[in-house]
Chains A and B, each alone.
Chain A
Amino acid sequence: AQSVTQPDIHITVSEGASLELRCNYSYGATPYLFWYVQSPGQGLQLLLKYFSGDTLVQGIKGFEAEFKRSQSSFNLRKPSVHWSDAAEYFCAVGARYQKVTFGTGTKLQVIP
């Protein structure tokens, strides 16, 4: 069975600074990988997903993520963070015939 780890529970960045949220997964074959964002009081919203092909995936809201098989990672990046990006971010891993497993989230705080 697959698993996913988000090592950082909480991250604080200054508005305008770059952001990288870490996600490591464990799965024997090529996984399906997802990043979701959850704003306070809201449900999860899909930012981007990777199934195959180009390992650099562009998502909504200016986010991107890179699949690195050698490091079993799928880190989420944004070059310049906006105050509205403050939220909780969840990485998830799935595969054909396997249920999707979610990480426990990274809470992002943005300071002026």
Chain B
Amino acid sequence: DTAVSQTPKYLVTQMGNDKSIKCEQNLGHDTMYWYKQDSKKFLKIMFSYNNKELIINETVPNRFSPKSPDKAHLNLHINSLELGDSAVYFCASSQGGDYHTDTQYFGPGTRLTVL
């Protein structure tokens, strides 16, 4: 069984569209994260939620809005997509809320291509 799953795996869309990426974890973890990996393989944290509460919000355009309906799900909605949003987006989860020390379990990634 997949521990952290993301859908879709690939997403190709036009500039200006709105899209969502879904993430689910079945590990019973309290904390979930979204990361962006750009074309140069730089991986940066975007958001973190602990028990449905936002605890990390890096400098990310407000076109990106995470939504956590319950602690097993953290979805990422992106409005008005831009070319620069093309990247691989990874969801992750951890048992505790310490982003610095807790082992994080990553999903397989969603490759977003904006045309």
Whether chains A and B associate is yes
CA distance A93 to B33 in the complex (A): 17
CA distance A32 to B102 in the complex (A): 11
Taking CB atoms, residues of chain A closer than 8 Å to B42 are 102, 104
Taking CB atoms, residues of chain B closer than 8 Å to A51 are 101
State how many residues of chain B have any CB contact under 8 Å with chain A: 21
Q: How large is the interface on A (under 10, 10 to 19, 20 to 34, 35 or more residues)?
A: 20 to 34
Chain A interface residues (CB < 8 Å from chain B): 32, 36, 41-46, 49, 51, 88, 90, 92, 94-100, 102, 104-105
Which of B11-19, B61-69, B79-87, B103-111 lies at the interface? B103-111
Q: Known A99-B58, A104-B41; judge A43-B107 contact (CB<8 A).
A: yes
Of all chain A residues, which has the CB nearest B38? Answer: A104
| B109 close to A43 (CB less than 8 A) | yes
Q: Known A96-B100, A99-B58; judge A90-B90 contact (CB<8 A).
A: no
Question: Main SS of chain A's interface residues?
Answer: strand
B65 to chain A, nearest CB (A): 20
Taking CB atoms, residues of chain A closer than 8 Å to B106 are 36, 43-45
Q: Known A43-B4, A100-B45, A102-B42; judge A94-B100 contact (CB<8 A).
A: yes
A-B contact pairs, 9 of them (CB 8 A): A41-B109, A43-B90, A44-B92, A46-B103, A46-B104, A96-B100, A99-B45, A102-B42, A105-B41
